[in-house]
Structures are given as C-alpha cells and as structure tokens.
Amino acid sequence: MGLFTKFVSQTRKPEGFLGKLMVGGMNSGHAKLADWGMSHLELKKVENIAELGCGGGRNASELLKMYAAAKLVALDYSSLSVEKTKETNKDFIKEGRCKVVQGNVMKLPFEDSSFDLATAFETVYFWPDLKQSFSQVCRVLKAGGVFMICNESDGEDKTSLKYEKIIEGMKCYTPEYLAAVLKEAGFSEVKTDHHPSKPWITVLAKK
C-alpha cells in the first residue's frame, strides 16, 4: 500500500501519525461543505444534539453556536477524533454544553428519544450496516426529531468513486438510496438537496 493510499484510508478511522494529520485537516477541509449542509437546518427549538462521526470537532462547535441553548454529544469511532474534538470544544466542555464519547453507530450508547437533532457529516460512507445504523439514530431521536446527512459525494461523481476503490470499507451513496434506507429504518419523511454546481448532497430525515 502506497503512502497516498495509507493517508486517504485514514478517513475511515484515523490512527497513528497519518491519522493525526488527517484529523488535523478535517476541520478546515470540510468547512464549506458542512456550512452548506447546516444552512438546511430549519429547526427552531433544539435542546439536545448528537454529532455522529465528529471528526475534528469543528462542526460540533458550529452547531453549538447555531443553537445557543442546546447541549451536544459528539461521538466518533476513532480515539484520535475524540481527543481532537475535545480540544476543539474545550470551552464548550467547560461550560457543560458539550460531551465527547467514543462509540459505534451500530449500537449508540444513548437512551431512546434523547435528541432533537442528529448530524452526520462526511461519515456514512464508512458505516458498515446503513439500515441498522439509521435505525439506531431513529431510536435515539425524539418524535419529530431530524437526522441530517451531509456528503461531499452524490454517489456518482468520479472523484469519490475513485477513492471508493482504494479505501477499504468506503461506499458512496446516491441521495435516492439514502432516502430509501432511511425510510426502511423508520423515518417518516425524507428530503434531499443536491448542490447546484458540486456533487454535494444534504439529506434531512424526520422521525
């Protein structure tokens, strides 16, 4: 495996030196995409947020700024991402508004009906069983709660499909496919949006 392949493979679960480099670049590298995704959020009252696959923690910060009265739990499979997210959100953690945990989306360590909003930025590509994972997200959302997925890939763009071939465990999805699985997992309404000039997608699923 070449160095480039080793590096890009860190997007799945950052580990070691290359993982630190990857996590370090996530906050700035995904900022424009994440902000575009968050612009779709229309919830007025949000008390509890779950940021799933929190990466470098920048999106957790932005969500806490957007919803100034909310508390947020950030979760990631990677211990490096957990530590980076804690560093990025240290002030919010001190204020008691942010908690960061290591965990798996296949079995979320949260009680039923705990959150108004759950988010997943650039991460569902690596979730091993979409239906089970989405069912877990549905379980921890309150009735009327929203799950937002924001991806750089629409499942058909050539660049992402190239990475799919070299990164173990990566799978790019079309918005139509994501919508179908979300409904199978128990969500009642699903809306999708495609960026007008880029292969970016945002999917909003309501419980």
Q: What is the pLDDT of residues 51-109, one digit of tens each?
A: 999 989 999 999 999 999 999 999 999 888 899 999 999 999 999 999 999 999 999 99
Quick one: fold of 3-206? Rossmann fold (3.40.50)
Closest CA to 107 of 70, 135, 146: 135
pLDDT at 169: 81
Contact 131, 184 (CB under 8 A): yes
Instruction: Supply the pTM of this predicted model.
Output: 0.89
* Helix boundaries (H) for 16-109: 16-29, 31-38, 58-66, 79-88, 90-94
Q: What is the pLDDT of residue 28?
A: 57
Indicate the domain borders of the chain: 3-206
The residue-averaged pLDDT of 10-18 equals: 46
Whether 166 shows a pLDDT value over 90: the answer reads no
Question: From CA 44, how far away is CA 54, in angstroms rounded?
Answer: 23
pLDDT of 118 reads: 98
User: Which pLDDT value is given to residue 13?
Assistant: 52
Residue 189 reports pLDDT greater than 90: yes
pLDDT digits 0-9 by tens, 47-61: 999 999 998 999 999
What band does 150 get if pLDDT is binned at 50, 70 and 90?
Answer: very high
Dist. CA 27–CA 62, nearest whole Å: 11
Q: Is 57 left (phi over 0), alpha (psi -120 to 50) or beta?
A: left
- The torsion angles phi and psi of 169, rounded to 5 degrees, stand at 85, 0
pLDDT digits (tens, 9 = 90+) for 116-147: 999 999 999 999 999 999 999 999 999 999 99
| pLDDT surpasses 80 at 167 | no
**How far, in Å, CA of 167 to CA of 164, rounded?**
5
pLDDT at 8: 37
Determine the Cα–Cα distance for residues 135 and 104; give it in Å rounded to an integer: 13
Whether the CB-CB separation of 38 and 8 falls below 8 Å is answered with no
Confidence of residue 191 (pLDDT cuts 50, 70, 90): very high
Residue 158 pLDDT:
87
Predicted pLDDT of residue 30: 77
